[in-house]
Structure 1
Amino acid sequence: MQNRRQFLETLGSMAAVSTAAGASSFGNVRQLRLFAFLPPANTHDRLQPEWYRRKIKQVQDRMKEHKLDAMVLLNATNVIYTTGYFHLPTERPLAALIPANGDPALFIPGLEEDQVKLWWVKDYESYFDYPGPVNRVQWIFQRAAKRGFGGGRIGVEEPTPSRLKHMTQGAPRARIVDASEIIEQLRWIKDEDEIDLMRRAMYFADFTVKAGREFVQQNGTVSEDQILKASADAVADKMSKELNDVVGIGIDAPFGGLVPFGKRSAFPHAIPSKDRLKSGDALILSFGAQVGGYTVECERSFCIGKPNDYAKRLFDAMLAAHDSAAENLKQGAVAEEVDKKSLDQIRKAGFGKFLKHRTGHGIGLEAHESPWIAEGDRTVLQESMTFSCEPGVYDPDWGGFRHSDTVVVRKDKGEIINTYPTRLEDMVIEI
């Protein structure tokens, strides 16, 4: 087996980028060439202050519709979405105050004081630490009240009973209003700046699947944890070298991703094992990447060696469901109807008993966010929403297949931003 440095050097020499997805064969190795979204030199890999100033104005326009005097955001993702202030969420509350007019303010724990000075939001107040002599949510609302919002309507996100108690203790004369839908629905629809970041992230997600495939081809009967480590090492090195701004890299402990094979490929969220890959196995390489806070998914299902007829039938059913969903993720479609049309492809193939989950979910600043491409979600899709597209089929006595693409809703059909191939002929690995 190659050591890590040898593998990365080999991968780097093979990772040439062309203007189209394709494949070439030499010996038993099928080398893939991937189209990649490459931004101009010296551009940023995160949204800039001007973008967030426009976003604050959009939020304020929605606030006027709801007759709100202010919003206090405590959800870390929503703070990032509206202000761009990336931080490490802990038990210490951190909030953004958005007034009906003017610039936002941040209420932060003291350990953020030096970092916040580097960002565009200059108005902030801090407390020393948590828990402190006064509940910190109560402290935040006391500060909001002192800024003139104590008798007004303050919008908040899905307050729990205990949190609502602390809010009202901090601003007892204010009317606290659940205004969760304002930020949630703004986040649903991405603009082209956000989608460009997702394309940039997909460049790395596609690369990670390629890295995992190359590692398997070169090393044969490897274990899941070895595939995870090799893939994560490769993409971490690449992101470190190529990103101009780093505000989040989506590599989860221990190494990131899901790489089940054999019968364990029928576990949609399989944790890593020490099992050894063998000829005849199904293999799923499931990875995400994050650039500028925006997350994407690339998952591909492979056959180790020539697939038998049963494997082909399972794969074809999965791919038909995937293609149906991607085609139907279009403006005006209803989320649960897209899901039904997709999963019906698997049912029609006779594998309905092997369905274990919905077709997809919203994706953006969070890996899983609303709306849901699932039964029970009647959301009407709008252009520039973004979703995972990942129907799967899982036979517990054999294994499973699942591709996942990240898809942008467009007028006539979904736009897949992944570039990694999906057809069975490109999914065979000889070891």
Structure 2
Amino acid sequence: MTEKFDRLAFAPEEYLARRDALRALMVKRGIDVVVLTTTENTYYLTGFGSLAYGATALVMRVDGKAVWVMRRTELSNVRALADQLWVNEGIGVADGDSHAEVLNTAIADLADANAVVAMEFAAVQPILRGFVGPRNDGRKLVDASGLVEHLRRIKSTAEIDLMKRAGVMAARACRDGFEALTEGITDSALAAVVTDSLLRNGSGRMAQMPNVCAGPRSARAHVTWCGAPILRGDLINIEPAASVHDYHTPIYRFYSIGAPQDIVRRMFDVCRSSLDEGYARIRPGMTSHEAARIFETVIEKAGFAEYMVTRPAYSIGAAFPPGWGEDNVMAIRSGNEQLLEEGMCFHVVPCLYRDGIGCVAASMPSVLTHNGFESLSQDEVVFGIK
């Protein structure tokens, strides 16, 4: 019997609905067989989230018939979840054998020589190398990149519930980090507090360890702890993401022991005003570009445009190492004409990076509702001074 810790995140009906939505897209685009190798995409479709050692592919025919192709020893994970997965058949690749040859056989078993086969060119792995380039076997090979990402843009109620749980954990980890701050504590010790809080309060495996940094070094994007002591007045960055069934909700918080530099305070206040403006005005139906300009205009008018080097928000959801973001799924950024839709989830984080000063942002993990953004963490956006 499967232990409770091995249960899938959602009911079987949710995964079957996702499968059928993909089948409908395949029919619309004239695809007979799709080959998926992106872990987030296969997890979204099936609930199978094992990070198999070696190349893994899910091969699905337009009628829903599907099979896994993966390293032979990793089939143990499929067997363990066979009573829950809608696709529970697998072909094992022995160590030293060609993944491409086994994959080719699997495709041939599912479709005839004239089939249109779609693959995720954006995620080429060793399992696909034998397919890149001209073909002479009669099948037409087209790019499947973006196919499942299109479905992942809108989160279901069940997905959002998981992300709200994760958001509360992430916010708690930041508060615990703040409580632990003392002059001279190292950034590594602070990172240990934050990570311990995540795990003690229920987070699963995280796609990325928390980012914890202090002082001017925080201006280097995504650098994290190095054993440096934290000094009075240092700008302190804490950015964890908690995970529930591999659904991640990140949050970014900023602190200091004693008063920070005046410029730090002004940078934070500008970011906070930008966040507030986005929450007040952004609604479904806007383009990504229109929404981005709402955030950016606040920062530009305050004279901080040169330090705004990132997009204001990126999609979040199911994630696996090496990172928790879904920038390839959706993002709020200038020049992007995709429409915002209800149910999209973002890490909304208008952010400023200034060399010699550090990184400051106003962050809120958010779901877009018909009334605008709603917090996934239910905490306040403040600059904490201890």
Percent identity between matched residues is 22
Separation (CA, whole Å) in 2 of partners of 1:264 and 1:201: 28
Work out which of the residue numbers 400, 403, 407 in structure 1 matches 2:366. Answer: 407
2:210 is equivalent to residue 257 of structure 1: yes
Counterpart of 1:346 (choices 289, 293, 299) is 299
User: Counterparts of 1:106 and 1:45 in 2: how far apart (Å)?
Assistant: 17
Structure 2 Cα separation of the partners of residues 223 and 330 of structure 1: 42
- Specify the alignment match of 2:145 in structure 1: 180
Could you tell me which residue of structure 1 aligns to residue 385 of structure 2? 428
Q: What amino acid is the match of 2:293?
A: K
Residue 274 of structure 1: CA displacement? Answer: 2.7
CA distance in 2, matches of 1:281, 1:181: 42
C-alpha RMSD of matched pairs (Å): 2.7
2:220 counterpart of 1:289: no
In the TM superposition, what whole-angstrom CA distance separates every residue of 1:121-179 from its partner, at most 9, and x where no partner exists? 454232343441xx312321212212334431222212659936437899923222213
Match of 2:160 among 180, 187, 195: 195
Name the residue aligned to 1:398: 357
Report SS of the residue matched to 1:284: strand
Question: Which stretch shifts more, 122-131 or 355-364?
Answer: 122-131
Judge conservation of contact 2:93–2:99 (CA < 8 Å) in 1.
Answer: no
Normalising by structure 1, report the TM-score. 0.79
Letter in 2 for 1:70: V
TM-superposition CA deviations, 1:168-199 (whole Å, max 9, x none): 89992322221323211101111111111111
Residues 1:305 and 2:268 are matched in the alignment: no
Q: How far does residue 53 in structure 1 lie from its aligned partner after superposition?
A: 1.4
The corresponding residue for 1:272 is 225
> For 1:257 and 1:59, how far apart are their aligned partners in 2?
34
1:84 alignment partner in structure 2: 47
8 Å contact 2:34–2:119 — kept in the other structure?
Answer: yes
The separation in 2 between residues aligned to 1:58 and 1:49, in whole angstroms, is 14
Q: Distance in 2 between matches of 1:313 and 1:328?
A: 23
What is the identity, as a one-letter code, of the residue corresponding to 2:183? G
- Report if aligned partners of 2:240, 2:251 keep a CA contact under 8 Å in 1: yes
Query: Are 1:231 and 2:194 counterparts?
Result: yes
In 2, the alpha carbon distance for the partners of 1:328 and 1:214 equals 34
Say whether 1:368 aligns with 2:325: yes
For 1:80 and 1:169, how far apart are their aligned partners in 2? Answer: 30
In the alignment, residue 205 of structure 1 is paired with which amino acid? A
Residues 139, 422 of structure 1: CA spacing in aligned structure 2 closer, same or farther, 3 A cutoff? same
1:295/1:186 Cα in 2 relative to 1: closer, same or farther (>3 Å)?
Answer: same
Quick check: 2:191–2:212 contact (8 Å CA) kept in 1? Answer: yes
Aligned length: 372
Q: Do the aligned residues in 1 keep the contact of 2:183 with 2:257 (CA within 8 Å)?
A: no
Point out the more displaced range, 200-209 or 389-398.
Answer: 389-398
Partner residue, 2:268: 315
TM-score by length of 2: 0.87
Q: Which residue of 1 aligns with 2:179?
A: 214
Structure 2 CA distance for aligned equivalents of residues 170 and 239 of structure 1: 49
- Counterpart code for 1:372: A
Which residue of structure 2 aligns with residue 330 of structure 1? 283
Q: Secondary structure at the match of 2:100?
A: helix
Residue in 1 that maps onto 2:378 = 419
Offset at residue 307 of structure 1 (A)? 4.5
Does residue 113 of structure 1 match 2:78?
no
In structure 2, distance between residues paired with 1:311 and 1:69:
55
Q: Cα 1:80–1:238, aligned 2, differ >3 Å: closer, same or farther? A: same
- The amino acid across from 1:249 in the alignment is R
> Residue 105 of structure 1 aligns to a residue in which SS?
strand
Contact residue 280 and residue 303 of structure 1 kept, 8 A: yes
1:356 shift after superposition: 2.7
Provide Cα deviations, 1:189-215, integer angstroms capped at 9, x if missing partner: 111111111111112111211121111
- Unaligned 5+ segments in structure 2 are none
Return the offset for 1:309.
4.3
Aligned residue identity for 1:196: D
Give per-residue Cα distances to partners, 1:21-41, cap 9 Å, x unaligned. Answer: xxxxxxxxxxxxxxxxxxxx9
**Alpha-carbon contact 2:78-2:88 (below 8 Å) kept:** no
Q: Is the CA contact 1:325–1:359 (under 8 Å) kept in the aligned structure 2?
A: no
Between structure 1 and structure 2, the one with the greater Rg is: 1
Judge conservation of contact 1:151–1:174 (CA < 8 Å) in 2: yes
Aligned to 2:100: 137
**Partner Cα distance (2:114, 2:47) in 1:** 29
Which of 58, 65, 71 is 2:21 aligned to?
A: 58
8 Å CA contact retained: 1:141, 1:167: no
Q: Is the 8 A contact 2:46 2:87 kept in 1?
A: no
Q: Which string of whole-angstrom CA distances, capped at 9 and with x for unpartnered residues, describes residues 47-92 of structure 1?
A: 23222112111111111111222212122221111111121143x2
Alpha carbons of structure 1 residues 93 and 329: separation in structure 2 relative to 1, 3 Å: farther
CA contact (8 A) 1:168 1:176 kept: no
Q: Quote the Cα distance in structure 2 between the aligned partners of 1:149 and 1:60.
A: 18
